Amino acid sequence: MHPANRNEILIGEHVLLKIEMSKVFIAGATGQTGHLLMQQLIKRGHHVVTVVRSASRLREMLGEFDETTCTITEASLLDLTDEHLTAQVDGCHAIASCLGHNLTLKGMFGQPRRLVTDAAQRLCKAASKSSAPMPIRFVLMSSSGVSNHHLNETHSFAERCAFGLLRVLVPPHVDNEQAAEYLQTQIKEGDAAIEWSIIRPDSLHDANEVTEYDLHPSPIRSPLFDSGKSSRINVAHHMAELISDDETWNRWKGKMPVLYNRD
């Protein structure tokens, strides 16, 4: 069953209900990974819904595309009322967050400090009000430096010291940790409204096309002292696969795969 086409609820051998399941909400569509994810989803036949500060910037990043394949609202995501945000995600079978902080002084240390966390919490709250017959898939882009507490991942003494400094000196790292912590602790397995997966790339970089990559339940390299590489387009590809493909989703839901480009 391909959620981009339809979702079928079966009783015995009879199809009780068929619902079009092709809408996906993206937070952070004007980001370096977000616009790539949008392209990947449109190619797969999804209708993308997004809220961005600059619609013209998004159109410039996407190049030529059919605007009937997306719904773009020009606004600040966190400035939307709960009612408006609920309306944005209504009818979506998945929500993807590619939000991050710009690598500028204002982006790193200015407001909102909890951009990723607050957006995740509010989007999950909006999703919980959905009338969708199956749980909405929530896919969060994080980083390899964020731990999966369900697997009791540990770090070396040097890494613990370095991460301690990052938490004090680099607010975006704390924001990413708190967003992942929220999904891990507040969205329980078997939740009727939401299921989640957190993708953890390592040392993001740009590439022109999707290449082979590997997924691991936990980091196999030090994210600080021996990091691997993850192209943004590979991250976007895997996020699109999670949203579009049942087998991929069932393999990684409730988990935090780490993505490395294959050498």
Q: Where are the domains of the chain?
A: 7-261
The backbone torsions φ and ψ at residue 147, rounded to the nearest 5 degrees and listed phi first, read -85, 150
pLDDT digits (tens, 9 = 90+) for 233-263: 999 999 999 999 999 999 999 999 999 999 7
Using alpha carbons, list the distances in angstroms from residue 221 to 74, 121, 150, 225: 40, 30, 19, 8
pLDDT score for 19: 36
pLDDT grade, residue 20 (50/70/90)? very low
pLDDT score for 35: 97
C-beta atoms surrounding 203 within 10 Å: 15
Instruction: Round to whole Å and give the CA distance between 85 and 10.
Output: 31
pLDDT digits (tens, 9 = 90+) for 191-224: 889 999 999 999 999 999 999 999 999 999 999 8
pLDDT digits (tens, 9 = 90+) for 1-17: 344 444 444 434 433 33
pLDDT score for 101: 66
Cβ(45)–Cβ(4) under 8 Å?
A: yes
Instruction: Round to whole Å and give the CA distance between 75 and 118.
Output: 16
Task: End-to-end CA distance of the chain: give it in Å, rounded.
Answer: 33
pLDDT score for 61: 95
Q: What is the CA angle 179-180-184, rounded to 5?
A: 120
Domain 7-261, CATH? 3.40.50.720
pLDDT score for 172: 81
Q: Poorest-confidence range of 52-66, 151-165, 172-186?
A: 151-165
Model pTM score: 0.88
Instruction: Round to whole Å and give the CA distance between 154 and 255.
Output: 16
